[in-house]
Amino acid sequence: MSGGTEALDRIVGRLRGTTDPKRRYAYVLWLAQKLEPLPDEFRVDLFKVKGCVSQVYVVGELQQGRLHWRGDSDAQITKGLLALLIEALEGLTPEQAAAVDPAFLADTGLQASLTPSRANGFLNIFKMMQAQARSLASGESTAGAASGAPA
């Protein structure tokens, strides 16, 4: 359906299950509220997503071979989109996360409701998370991954 992960398939199914953009936004905002606060030490350019109008930070770490994500944004919708991606990629191996097809973004139906700049930001967050996953898979630190993130 989306990218082959159970959490991602569940999220895509939930979003595709409604044709009402307001309900989709409500779900995204609910996810934003669930996101844990990001410590200030990670609010640096190294972890900042390039190509987003909002201030967005995302940090991937390996814990026992599985990805653990943290992040934040100063815009609630963007924070919710980030939370959606964190939930979808949480607990995957770096290889699994790097292999997720970005086509799932269209499968959510969210992009039809997003402004072009926000839709582009959604993709940029996802690409940065994948770049971090690839770097972690190759044994680099998240800092190395973040510096090679797409612009």
Residues noted as catalytic: 52
- How far is Cα 14 from Cα 19, in angstroms, rounded to an integer? 11
- DSSP state string for 98-143: HH--TTHHHHTS-TTTS-HHHHHHHHHHHHHHHHHHHHHHTT--HH
The CA angle 112-10-135, to the nearest 5 degrees, is 85
